Amino acid sequence: MFTAIYGICTIITALVFIYMAQKNYDNVDIYNWTFLVLILIIVLSYWLQSKVTTPEASSFLFCFIYLDSTILIVAVIFALLHTIGIRIQPWMKILAYGASFIQLAVVWLCADNDLYYQSLRIVDTGEGYATEATYGPLIIIHFIYLGCLMVWAIGALVLGFLRQGSYSRKNLLVYTSALGAGLLIYAIDIAFATEFTMLPVLYTIADVVIALRYDRAHGYDLSFLITEHQKKHDARGYVAIGLRKQFLGTNEKGYDFLPFLKKQRVNEKLLPDDETAQMISRLIDDFEMGDVRSLKFQTGGMTCVCEITHFSISSGGKTQGYLLELRDATEEQRAYDIISSYNERLNAEVVEKTNSIRDIQRKIVLGMADMIENRDNNTGGHVKRTSDIIHIIVDEIIRQGKIPMTEQMAQDIVRAAPTHDLGKISIDSSILNKPGRLTDEEFEIMKTHSPKSGEMVKILLEGVEEDRFVEVAFNVARYHHERWDGRGYPEGLVGTMIPLEARIMAIADVYDALVSKRVYKEPMSFEQSADIMCECMGTQFDPNMKSVFLGCREQLEKYYEANS
CATH number at residue 475: 1.10.3210.10
Range of lowest pLDDT (336-345, 393-402, 503-512): 336-345
pLDDT at 351 over 70: no
Residue 198 CA to residue 202 CA, distance in Å, equals 7
What average pLDDT score do residues 451-459 get? 86
Residue 230 CA to residue 234 CA, distance in Å, equals 8
Residue 269 CA to residue 247 CA, distance in Å, equals 6
Range of lowest pLDDT (98-102, 252-256, 422-426): 422-426
What average pLDDT score do residues 176-196 get? 80
State the alpha helices, DSSP H only, in 72-168. 73-83, 90-109, 139-162
Quote the pLDDT of residue 542.
94
Which secondary-structure segment (H or E) carries 209?
Answer: helix 199-218
Same-domain check for residues 288 and 231: yes
Sign of the alpha-carbon torsion through 535, 541, 545, 548: negative
Quote the pLDDT of residue 353.
53
What average pLDDT score do residues 167-177 get? 72
Query: What number of other Cβ atoms are within 10 A of residue 537's Cβ?
Result: 18
pLDDT digits (tens, 9 = 90+) for 520-559: 678 899 999 999 999 999 999 999 999 999 999 999 999 9
pLDDT digits (tens, 9 = 90+) for 88-101: 888 888 998 898 89
Same-domain check for residues 372 and 451: yes
pLDDT at 440 over 90: no
Residue 32 CA to residue 28 CA, distance in Å, equals 9
CATH number at residue 85: 1.20.1070
Residue 231 or 524, more confident: 524
CATH number at residue 279: 3.30.450.20
pTM, 2 dp: 0.48
Helix (H, G, I), strand (E, B) or coil at 489: coil
What DSSP string describes 242-287? ETTSBEEEE-HHHHHH-GGGGTPPTTSBPPTT-HHHHHHHHHHHHH
Q: How confident is the model at residue 394 (pLDDT cuts 50, 70, 90)?
A: very high
Q: How far is CA 528 from CA 82, 382, 503, in A?
A: 59, 20, 21
What average pLDDT score do residues 224-238 get? 62
Strand bridging mode 321-328 / 237-242: antiparallel
Question: Which residues have a Cβ under 8 Å from the Cβ of 158 and sit 6 or more positions away?
Answer: none
pLDDT digits (tens, 9 = 90+) for 305-320: 999 988 876 656 677 7
With a pLDDT cut of 90, the percent of the chain lying above it is 22
What DSSP string describes 303-344? EEEEEEEEE-SBTT----EEEEEEEE-HHHHHHHHHHHHHHH
Same-domain check for residues 403 and 481: yes
Residue 157 or 65, more confident: 65
Same-domain check for residues 266 and 351: no
Residue 179 CA to residue 555 CA, distance in Å, equals 83
Residue 451 CA to residue 367 CA, distance in Å, equals 20
pLDDT at 171 over 80: no
Q: How confident is the model at residue 352 (pLDDT cuts 50, 70, 90)?
A: low
Q: Quote the distance between the C-alpha of residue 285 and its chain's center.
A: 22
pLDDT at 372 over 60: no
pLDDT at 217 over 70: no
Quote the pLDDT of residue 377.
47
Quote the pLDDT of residue 379.
46
Q: Which amino acid is at 425?
A: I
Sign of the alpha-carbon torsion through 370, 361, 474, 233: positive
Same-domain check for residues 124 and 214: yes
Q: Which amino acid is at 148?
A: C
- Long-range contacts made by residues 457-460, C-beta under 8 angstroms, separation at least 24? 457/419, 457/422, 459/336, 459/339, 459/340, 460/339, 460/343, 460/361, 460/364, 460/365, 460/368, 460/419, 460/422
The tally of domains found in the chain comes to: 3
Same-domain check for residues 434 and 478: yes
Same-domain check for residues 322 and 395: no
Domain edge (last residue) among 178, 200, 218: 218
Question: Which residues have a Cβ under 8 Å from the Cβ of 197 and sit 6 or more positions away?
Answer: 46, 185, 186, 189
Same-domain check for residues 304 and 395: no
Question: Could you tell me which of 133, 141, 146, 143 has the C-alpha nearest to residue 197?
Answer: 133
Domain edge (last residue) among 218, 237, 261: 218
pLDDT at 364 over 60: no
Give the orientation angle of helix 545-562 with respect to helix 500-515, to 10 degrees.
40
Q: How confident is the model at residue 495 (pLDDT cuts 50, 70, 90)?
A: very high
Do 348 and 321 touch, CB atoms closer than 8 A? no
| Distance between start and end Cα atoms, the chain | 95
Residue 328 CA to residue 252 CA, distance in Å, equals 14
Cis peptide upstream of residue 490 (ω within 30 degrees of 0): yes
Quote the pLDDT of residue 162.
74
Q: Catalogue the E-assigned strands of 430-527.
A: none
Same-domain check for residues 377 and 317: no
Same-domain check for residues 299 and 171: no
Same-domain check for residues 459 and 436: yes
Q: How confident is the model at residue 48 (pLDDT cuts 50, 70, 90)?
A: very high
Quote the pLDDT of residue 229.
47
Do 302 and 314 touch, CB atoms closer than 8 A? no
Do 414 and 387 touch, CB atoms closer than 8 A? yes
pLDDT at 406 over 70: yes
Domain edge (last residue) among 287, 302, 328: 328
The domain in which residue 278 lies consists of 223-328
pLDDT at 58 over 60: yes
Same-domain check for residues 270 and 291: yes
